[in-house]
């Protein structure tokens, strides 16, 4: 698997800086970028050469928080805040995934729509059901990568979604998935503090450590939810509750979605190179969760990526979420506290390399990185950085003519 | 021009209520809806019948504030607030419209993109130039309707855009446009208070009265702008300054874009059945203008429609602006003052019938209304109200398979 692509590349190696290679060659071997050059060296003369001419090539998107089983609910029931929204719209939909046939149908559409929107890696919640394995296999089938979680819930939810053997079913899911793919991996996925008993959380934390698995969950999304967590875990903060179970990156990468209402006291708990905030700005707008202060995390050396949080978020479009991240930062500066807004370049970094680190070296065009990319045919003659920004703000998905994941053209 | 359409119709006759006709017939004569029925009466048997089967038919969008000449700047330069943004990005681009060739090229793309996004009526700013006539003619050519303004600016702008004979050039524009089309009309368009001398404003107000012309401008978008207006018009409020010149609906319809920072004292000045707020939520997000309190206007019986405000707004997608209107109302309730958020149904009304009133009877499917509509093929079996909301939140423009404006299929 060796090829050379020629075209116009733009990406963000460094937070806040575009790096641009116009009319450059990029050599890929076994899915990884091995070289980058202005003139084609003789040693590559026999490699397959693909000429993209005027097209723009950018890193594909890394969606670090979303719910595959909520795909059919996109754009529905955006009239309620988190807790009643879960009860009214989300849990009944997730219940349908007890059926493998239903799961097969929806997960197939879901993964296609991810690719349509230019996403090639994702951290995804399935449901409590066996059918989460189908989601896992769909990622393999379509050639995209990421972490797939069978959700853990053994309290405070409708009976039909309350697991009796949450831990054992997690082991079963791991048995099926753990060494199945190079690009798709299982991830420990307690829904959030309210839905898992302390005993289960304890066991899941240990399991993650033992099997070297990542952990994903929700943290500090909504004020009512935070109050509820305080009742359940009165001796600590919401962040502190995850710390109890080693779920803040102590043992392996942890991804916590939202982090909207984080107190100063909680901030140091998040300062771990393996901890990631999954910023979900469209979801926070829609569910009235509040404005997350992303600059504050970045200034405190806390990792941040972007998630669409479908279907709290109403689109799988990472472009729209990147725009919403900029908008959130604008509003945060005006209405919460003085804080330098994110530039588009910074938000683009978060949606590509920022979240991409979770999946290894991906989300940037650097030597040694896996080549995940979008080839864009937008008929534009603008300078590349303007062209990129225009594409993010108001591009058309139809203009994404090719999609690469780990060097393989999947669209 | 007589035809009967059969399909699934959804619209909002009343603010906040969907009206749904599933498998209904709708009869159109000379562009207007003349009848609506469950079974086809004998008298229509000879009319052309178009069967849309499972497709969804909704009113097309009414974009009541945007700048045609800023089309090429969509998604560019979103890093500055209003006043430096105008100087740095907007004025240099508008200057290019001194060339008719350039205008022809851009306005052609612009009008096509409006239709692509499902907009069939719009209130548009051109530039100060003669080429605004080209914009006017493009609307006629492509069969959409609205109001086109040659912009007035005779102070406080770069010399290259400062008119010497602003009034006379407006007369010239009116001569060319005033009785040219049934669906496309000229509109008096002082850019905003800072860019027109008092004398010019006075004359424009009288001209609008005399020729029964509508007026459009900008009002209270940004705090620095408001401060500037206060310096220029120290004896009154920003709204009061327009009142001086009869530009608040006293003589004919007036459309004022933004209205973000309106004091309680200004509110009564806006309570006129011919006055419209053009709410531009994506623009307000992007340029950090602030959150407009739309419920407050509605509770005070002030008309509201929605505008994309390209290129302060970064997309011609009215769908995205309708979503952003809901989001703005969510955030306003949380961060400015308690205020019931807009439902999607309410925001949809604002983007269709709410703004549509400016153009006559359009934006709804009622007998006597001009038939402006989108036929949507989204392969959905959801109940129509959910199907509509899903389309607004996360639909694909490719699914808009046909567009009607005044009964004529233009796409």
Q: Is the pLDDT of residue A78 over 90?
A: no
Q: Is the pLDDT of residue A79 over 90?
A: no
Angle at A372 between CA A368 and CA A376, to 5 degrees: 130
pLDDT in tens, A140-156: 999 999 999 999 999 99
Average pLDDT, chain B: 97
Residues of chain A contacting residue B392, judged by C-beta atoms under 8 Å apart: 75
Tell me the pTM: 0.98
Say if B285 is an interface residue toward chain A (CB within 8 Å): yes
DSSP at B163: -
The confidence score (pLDDT) of residue B77 equals 87
β pairing state of B254-258 and A32-37: unpaired
pLDDT in tens, B329-339: 999 999 999 99
What span, in angstroms and rounded, lies between the C-alpha atoms of A37 and A41?
8
The confidence score (pLDDT) of residue B276 equals 98
Angle at A31 between CA A26 and CA A36, to 5 degrees: 15
pLDDT in tens, B93-136: 999 999 999 999 999 999 999 999 999 999 999 999 999 999 99
User: Model ipTM?
Assistant: 0.96
Place of tokens 């590509």: A352
Sequential DSSP letters for B47-73: SEEEEEEEEEEEE-EEEEEEEGGGGGG
Quick one: pLDDT band at residue B33, thresholds 50, 70, 90? very high
Residues of chain A contacting residue B331, judged by C-beta atoms under 8 Å apart: 285, 291, 331, 335
β pairing state of A32-37 and A17-29: antiparallel
Q: What is the mean pLDDT of residues A312-337?
A: 98
Question: Residue B356: which region, alpha, beta or left (left: phi > 0; alpha: psi -120 to 50)?
Answer: alpha
Q: What is the mean pLDDT of residues A101-125?
A: 98
β pairing state of A145-149 and B2-14: unpaired
Q: What are phi and psi of B294, to 5 degrees?
A: -75, -40
Percent pLDDT > 70 in chain A is 100
Output b/e per residue, B45-59; b: 16+ Cβ within 10 A.
eeeeeeebeebbbbb
- Top-confidence residue, B78 or B5: B5
pLDDT in tens, B352-385: 999 999 999 999 999 999 999 999 999 999 999 9
- CB-nearest partner of A75 from B315, B330, B390: B390
- CB-nearest partner of A314 from B314, B317, B394: B394
A294: part of which helix (H) or strand (E)? Answer: helix A294-299
pLDDT in tens, A23-32: 999 999 999 9
Helix (H, G, I), strand (E, B) or coil at B264: coil
The confidence score (pLDDT) of residue B79 equals 83
B-proximal residues of A, 325-344, CB under 8 Å: 326-327, 330-331, 333-336, 341, 343-344
Place of tokens 């607004």: B392
The confidence score (pLDDT) of residue A80 equals 85
Q: Is the pLDDT of residue A81 over 90?
A: no
pLDDT in tens, A256-286: 999 999 999 999 999 999 999 999 999 999 9
What span, in angstroms and rounded, lies between the C-alpha atoms of B4 and B11?
18
B132-142 and B100-116 helices, crossing angle to 10°: 40
DSSP at A365: -
Q: What is the mean pLDDT of residues A43-69?
A: 97
Say if A112 is an interface residue toward chain B (CB within 8 Å): no
What span, in angstroms and rounded, lies between the C-alpha atoms of B129 and B29?
38
Strand partners, B184: B146
What span, in angstroms and rounded, lies between the C-alpha atoms of A168 and A367?
41
Chain B interface, best mutation among A394, A398, A400, by max B CB count within 10 A: A394
The confidence score (pLDDT) of residue B78 equals 85
Q: Is the pLDDT of residue A77 over 90?
A: no
B198-211 and B166-177 helices, crossing angle to 10°: 20
Q: Which of A280, A252, A277, A279 is nearest to A266 (CA)?
A: A277
Q: What are phi and psi of B62, to 5 degrees?
A: -115, 105
Q: How many C-beta neighbours within 10 Å does residue B375 have?
A: 21
Q: Is the pLDDT of residue A17 over 90?
A: yes
β pairing state of B32-37 and B48-59: unpaired
Question: Residue A371: which region, alpha, beta or left (left: phi > 0; alpha: psi -120 to 50)?
Answer: beta
């Amino acid at each position: 698997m060796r090829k050379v692509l020629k075209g116009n590349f733009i990406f963000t190696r460094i937070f806040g800086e575009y790096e641009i290679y116009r009319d450059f060659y990029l050599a890929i071997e076994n899915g990884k970028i091995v070289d980058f050059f202005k003139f084609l060296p003789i040693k590559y003369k026999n490699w397959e050469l693909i000429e993209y001419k005027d097209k723009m090539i950018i890193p594909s998107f890394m969606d670090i928080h979303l719910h595959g089983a909520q795909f059919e609910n996109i754009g529905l029931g955006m009239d309620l805040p988190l807790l009643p929204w879960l009860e009214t719209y989300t849990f009944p939909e997730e219940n349908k995934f007890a059926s493998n046939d239903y799961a097969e149908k929806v997960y197939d559409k879901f993964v296609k729509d991810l690719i349509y929107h230019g996403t090639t890696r994702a951290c995804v919640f399935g449901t409590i059901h066996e059918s989460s394995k189908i989601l896992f296999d769909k990622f393999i089938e379509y050639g995209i990568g990421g972490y797939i979680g069978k959700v853990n819930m053994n309290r405070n939810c409708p009976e039909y979604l309350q697991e009796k053997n949450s831990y054992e079913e997690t082991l079963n899911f791991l048995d099926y998935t753990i060494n199945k793919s190079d690009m798709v991996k299982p991830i420990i996925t307690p829904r959030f503090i309210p839905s898992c008993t302390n005993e289960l959380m304890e066991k899941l934390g240990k399991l993650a450590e033992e099997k070297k698995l990542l952990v994903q969950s929700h943290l500090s999304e909504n004020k009512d939810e935070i109050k509820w967590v305080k009742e359940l875990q009165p001796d600590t903060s919401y962040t502190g509750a995850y710390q109890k179970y080693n779920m803040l990156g102590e043992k392996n990468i942890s991804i916590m979605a939202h982090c909207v209402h984080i107190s100063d006291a909680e901030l140091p708990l998040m300062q771990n190179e393996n901890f990631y905030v999954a910023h979900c700005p469209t979801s926070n707008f829609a569910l009235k969760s509040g404005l997350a202060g992303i600059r504050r995390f970045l200034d405190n050396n806390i990792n941040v990526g972007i998630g669409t949080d479908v279907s709290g978020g109403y689109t799988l479009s990472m472009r729209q979420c990147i725009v919403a991240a900029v908008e959130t930062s604008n509003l945060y500066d005006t209405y919460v506290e003085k804080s330098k807004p994110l530039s588009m370049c910074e938000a683009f970094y978060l949606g590509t390399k920022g979240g991409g680190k979770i999946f290894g070296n991906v989300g940037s065009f650097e030597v040694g990185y896996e080549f995940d990319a979008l080839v864009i045919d937008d008929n534009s003659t603008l300078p590349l950085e303007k062209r990129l920004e225009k594409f993010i703000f108001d591009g058309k998905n139809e203009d994404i003519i090719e999609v690469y994941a780990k060097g393989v053209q999947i669209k």
